[in-house]
Chain A
Amino acid sequence: EIVLTQSPGTLSLSPGERATLSCRASQSVGTYLAWYQHKPGQAPRLLIYNASNRATGIPARFSGSGSGTDFTLTINSLEPEDFTVYYCQQRSDWPWTFGQGTKVEIK
């Protein structure tokens, strides 16, 4: 199965700063990569699909890039509600897999 490795495990930043999250795949997934935001006690929320496309209703401060094995989620000017956990997920090959998550915490 394709292993997705996210880094860093935890990112400590202040509101207003930019967050850069990485997701690396053990083999190419093309652009079949999505990003989710997951707040405690809530269901995950789809942010980005196909590596770089924002899902409906997602603020423009969220952007994704990359292809093949290396992907990045960027959050420009962090808002207080953005401090939570983010997961990448590939749908290129069975079984679909998720990364282990990156926690964005308030510095």
Chain B
Amino acid sequence: QVQLQQSGPGLVKPSETLSLTCAVSGGSINSDYWSWIRQTPGKGLEWIGYIHYTGTTKHNPSLKSRVTMSVDTSKNLFSLKLTSVTAADTAVYYCASTTYYDASGSYFGCHQHWGQGTLVTVSS
């Protein structure tokens, strides 16, 4: 069973960079694409983007160029950086797997495994 463990600071100052890490256990990071999703009070759940172990990424255009995602295959973890944060970036951030697998096949874009969530508050 794949498990995701998130880590990172819960408080970030405005204009600084939010950094979160998600460690994958019970499976290889090479086995899927890996997503970041956040939940803000005003906008609900918002998909941030995903990364593949090859380095391929896709992100939500609404976040423009502020998002950087990376993967460390040697440590079986992936990371998110969000630059120039404002109060609007205050949210619970989740990492998640990106493909659901069962006996009938694989379904890209269905998030089966999730991290525990990290509340990140942007405040001075």
A and B are interacting partners: yes
> Is A98's CB under 8 angstroms from B110's CB?
no
In whole angstroms, what is the CA distance A43 to B39 when docked?
11
A95 closest partner in B (C-beta): B60
Per-residue interface assignment for chain A, residues 21 to 56, with 1 indicating a CB less than 8 Å from any chain B CB and 0 otherwise: 000000000001010100000111010011001011
In whole angstroms, what is the CA distance A50 to B107 when docked?
8
* Total B residues in contact with A, Cβ cutoff 8 Å: 24
**Chain A's interface: helix, strand, loop or mixed, by majority?**
loop
Check if B109 is an interface residue, CB within 8 A of chain A.
yes
Check if A64 is an interface residue, CB within 8 A of chain B.
no
Chain B residues with Cβ under 8 A from A96's Cβ?
47, 109
Check if B116 is an interface residue, CB within 8 A of chain A.
yes
Interface centre among B61, B100, B111 (most CB of A within 10 A): B111
Given known A94-B58, A100-B44, contact A56–B102 (CB-CB < 8 A): yes
In whole angstroms, what is the CA distance A42 to B117 when docked?
8
> Is B107's CB under 8 angstroms from A89's CB?
no
Check if B114 is an interface residue, CB within 8 A of chain A.
yes
**Chain B's interface: helix, strand, loop or mixed, by majority?**
strand
Q: Which of B38-88 contact A (CB under 8 A)?
A: 44-47, 58-62
Check if B104 is an interface residue, CB within 8 A of chain A.
yes
> Is A46's CB under 8 angstroms from B58's CB?
no
Per-residue interface assignment for chain A, residues 62 to 77, with 1 indicating a CB less than 8 Å from any chain B CB and 0 otherwise: 0000000000000000
In whole angstroms, what is the CA distance A89 to B94 when docked?
15
> Is A87's CB under 8 angstroms from B109's CB?
no
In whole angstroms, what is the CA distance A55 to B104 when docked?
11
Chain B residues with Cβ under 8 A from A95's Cβ?
47, 59-62
Chain B residues with Cβ under 8 A from A53's Cβ?
104
B→A interface (CB under 8 Å): 44-47, 58-62, 94, 96, 100, 102, 104, 107-112, 114-117
A→B interface (CB under 8 Å): 1, 32, 34, 36, 42-44, 46, 49-50, 53, 55-56, 87, 89, 91, 94-101
